[in-house]
Structure 1
Amino acid sequence: MKSMFVLAALGAALPVAAVAQTSVTIAETAPVVTLNVTETVEAAPDMATVGTGVQTRAQTAAQAMRDNAVQMDRLIAALVKAGIPKKDIQTSGINLSAQYDYSNRDGQPSGPRFIGYEASNQLSVKLRDIKKVGTLLDTMVEAGATNVNGPSFSISDPTPMLAQARAAALKTAKAQADFYAQAAGYRSARLVSLAESNSGGQPPMPMMVTARFKADAAPATPVEPGQVGSSVTLTVQYALEK
């Protein structure tokens, strides 16, 4: 019984093995070239977005909002009648503000003169039939729209265009890296990192135009959609190897 106690005591005195964690990072020793490459694929747009709305003025805020609601209901009904589904019509802003006249009367400075309240209600409308954009703009004006912004053209599904742009950007990056490798006396270029940013189906430059129309605006407003581009930008790094 005494010997068992001694053995147990000796066992408790033995050191416990330590658990070690090792992390090894191998730095890239070859020269590295960093490239930023952008490729754009263009195509005819299949969708246009137009901002439109109505503005009304009245002596009271409540009356300005009531008048605005009547005109906006008429505008929305006209858009739906023209074949635009409700899911493509979205309110983008409602505003009510007091209006003042700051002009001088009789050449004498005077304080601002209250002239009423102005209410506005704005819509963002997606038009999915490019051929009818001009006609639909006229429909908006005839239905009481007091302002039209756009159109801004785009591609509803830019995925195939982005795939083309991505492949072209990677091919361009590899060709440039190989050129630098050979020019610097190296055998090849090995890809070590890749990052992407893209913009799909949007115009390469802003195409937004603001206009105010009179009730007797000429019919069949001409609209030229042109082409829009999907762009992919790659930031790549290649290690140059002997």
Structure 2
Amino acid sequence: MRRLPILLAATAALMMPAIVSAQPQPPAPQAAKGPLLSLSVSESVNSAPDMATINTGVQTRAMSAKDAMAQNATQMDRLIAALVKAGIARKDIQTSGINLNPQYDYSDRTDGKGPRFIGYEASNQLTVAVRKLDSAGDLIDSLVAAGATNINGPSFGIAEPDKLLDQARTKALKTAQARANLYAQATGFRTARLVSISEGGGFAPPPMPMMAMRDSAAAAPQTKIEPGEIATSISLNVQYMLEP
């Protein structure tokens, strides 16, 4: 009879881990109260740009690759010097492409003649950030005077678009909620509750115009640049639950 308390204690000890390890279970997820509505919404904010990007460069030809590249380097030095003199910071001048290719004349193909080699063409292109738009026209003129053989641009932009992007986000969210409420009411539901959101889009500049070259020897008015306005836009993909 003395062994009974010992057996009872051992049995209680074996049962304790099961009691201690028991944890409350999380509540089961609630079933959806209504259908899900997916929307894509885009909004933009227009503003005057505060910077522009211009692509420029020089092309040279010579009978040897070495001479073509040497001539190109000389003209490019003059081009970069003109940019620096105009107040463009070195950090805003970036090489965007260097090319060297043989050139052939294909015009005479009579009697089975092959293309005629006419030399090498070297090109060096720069991407330039212009932060003083009122001097952009004068800058283009100075590039032409310094020997630029091609100019593309300008492409206008916003240096720090964060505030404009936030304004566009606010507009997009309001538009999405209003549209979701419309769907809810039109289909017999009371409210539309936002359940997910993802973002896309960003700064949307207008198409970049092409700047045609002109004869530097001819008298002509200075190049005029009109920045106008650009749109800073945001696209949202949102999902709402329609609830009764």
Give the TM-score of the pair, scaled to structure 1. Answer: 0.86
Identify the residue that residue 57 of structure 1 maps to in structure 2: 61
Partner Cα separation in structure 2 for residue 69 and residue 26 of structure 1: 71
Q: Is 1:229 the counterpart of 2:231 in the alignment?
A: yes
Q: Is 1:194 the counterpart of 2:197 in the alignment?
A: yes
Q: Where do 5+ consecutive residues of structure 2 fail to align?
A: none
RMSD: 2.4
Identify the residue that residue 208 of structure 2 maps to in structure 1: 207
| Total equivalences in the alignment | 231
Deviations 1:208-233 (A, max 9, x none): 42533433363411222111111111
Q: Is 1:138 the counterpart of 2:141 in the alignment?
A: yes
Match of residue 96, structure 1, among 75, 94, 100: 100
Per the TM alignment, residue 188 of structure 1 is displaced from its structure 2 partner at its CA by: 1.1
Amino acid at match of 1:211: A
Q: Is the 8 A contact 1:55 1:121 kept in 2?
A: yes
Per the TM alignment, residue 140 of structure 1 is displaced from its structure 2 partner at its CA by: 0.5
Identify the residue that residue 115 of structure 1 maps to in structure 2: 118
Identify the residue that residue 188 of structure 2 maps to in structure 1: 185
Secondary structure (helix, strand or coil) at the match of 1:66 reads helix
Partner Cα separation in structure 2 for residue 36 and residue 210 of structure 1: 37
Deviations 1:149-169 (A, max 9, x none): 111001111111111110011
Partner Cα separation in structure 2 for residue 182 and residue 207 of structure 1: 44
Per the TM alignment, residue 139 of structure 1 is displaced from its structure 2 partner at its CA by: 0.6
Q: Percent identity between the aligned chains?
A: 56
Structure 1 residue ranges (4+ consecutive) displaced by more than 4 angstroms after TM superposition = 14-27
Q: Is the 8 A contact 2:33 2:242 kept in 1?
A: no
Q: Is the 8 A contact 2:33 2:243 kept in 1?
A: no
Identify the residue that residue 159 of structure 2 maps to in structure 1: 156
Identify the residue that residue 124 of structure 1 maps to in structure 2: 127
Identify the residue that residue 172 of structure 1 maps to in structure 2: 175
Q: Is the 8 A contact 1:53 1:147 kept in 2?
A: yes
| Cα 1:233/1:227, change in 2 over 3 Å | same
Amino acid at match of 1:42: N
Deviations 1:16-38 (A, max 9, x none): 85999978554534111111110
Give the TM-score of the pair, scaled to structure 2. Answer: 0.86
